[in-house]
A = this chain, B = another copy of it.
Amino acid sequence: MSPGLPARAGRDDSTERQAVNQLDRNARGVYLITVTPFTDSGALDLASTDRMVDFCLDAGVTGLTVLGIMGEATKLTIEESRVFVRQVLARVNGRVPVVVGASAPGFAAMKELTDSVMDLGASGVMVAPPSTVRTDDQIVSYFQMVGETLGASVPWVLQDHPVSTGVQMSTSVVLRILKNSPTCVMLKHEDWPGLAKLSAIRAASEKGELQRVSILTGNGGGLFLPEELTRGADGAMTGFAWPEMMVDVLAAHARGERERAHDLFDAYLPLAKYEQQAGVGLAVRKFLLKERGVIASDFVRKPGPKLSAQDVDDIRFLVKRQEKRLREIG
């Protein structure tokens, strides 16, 4: 268990399992943001959910994040959210931590979902600010209330993703939130551009200005992964139809092979770029996961994008080029 995080009331029975899975300040590696698989008629697809979990773990991810923006969280009922999280947790069975997106328009709903998924065995939750907070003080105050709402035993991830939230958090605001929040153990760094911010937060943590915090990145939709590792990121928390790419890039970086890390990354970059297009990107990702045999349907609940024949042609062309390039670099 992470130091400073007291045991969560009522979960003593699972201390052993939780000790392994508790989200903490030293988390590293690849936390894959998963999609939520549906059947062709739009119902939750639990069989595909199981396959997706296996696929991610086989690829070597060190954690999973569910019910994020790309997990169509707002399109589920509370009950569907619970069913899906329960299925993921059962399949993961304690092998890696599972983080659940808990952003909500109000604290009552945030508390309700958090308590529910923590009781099911989640390792922590992730919270992004609502689009209504603007000034530094409003943002800091909001996350003060988030910490109070979640309570002393729930580790949480601060999501900094201006492209989707419209909320711009300066470096000094992120540092204020981290200092204020003993239970905020991880920063999901997705500001763009964000390399300077990442460097500054890492430096502050290393200089002892604040407790160490895990920094996982998704800057520009994950398009800056090798650069971010060089700046001190602990890994990635983002989605991509080839999670093995991120695992391999991290491994190369850990071995000190900077060129190799870039070679691998660059081989996937054209398709990563295509998959990261705002709006249509989720349809691309589900299409690719279906093509790879991971999920049975690429159904996206409305409102959601659809691929055109031209999109599919682009994607298939890029996949072939990616395969060729991967063979070239070995």
Contacts and interface: CB of A to CB of B under 8 A. Distances in A.
Nearest to A199: B310
Interface in A40-67: none
Interface string A129-156: 0010011111001100100000000000
Nearest to A328: B328
Contacts of A193: 277-281
Nearest to A133: B303
Contact of A112 (B77, B230, B303, B310): B77
Nearest to A149: B302
Contacts of A301: 107-108
A76 interface: yes
**Which applies to chain A's interface (DSSP): helix, strand, loop or mixed?**
helix
A243 to B, nearest CB: 21
A137 B136 CA distance: 9
A261 to B, nearest CB: 11
Interface string A69-84: 0001111111010000
A206 interface: no
A93 interface: no
Contact of A75 (B74, B77, B107): B107
Interface stretch (A167-175, A249-257, A288-296): A167-175
Given A192-B278, A280-B196, A314-B227, A303 B142 contact: yes
B108 A230 contact: no
Copies in the complex: 4
A1 interface: no
A95 to B, nearest CB: 30
B310 A108 contact: no
A245 interface: no
A195 interface: yes
Contacts of A80: 108
A105 to B, nearest CB: 4
A106 B74 contact: yes
A9 to B, nearest CB: 20
A94 interface: no
A230 B86 CA distance: 44
A179 interface: no
Given A172-B137, A262-B270, A269-B270, A195 B311 contact: yes
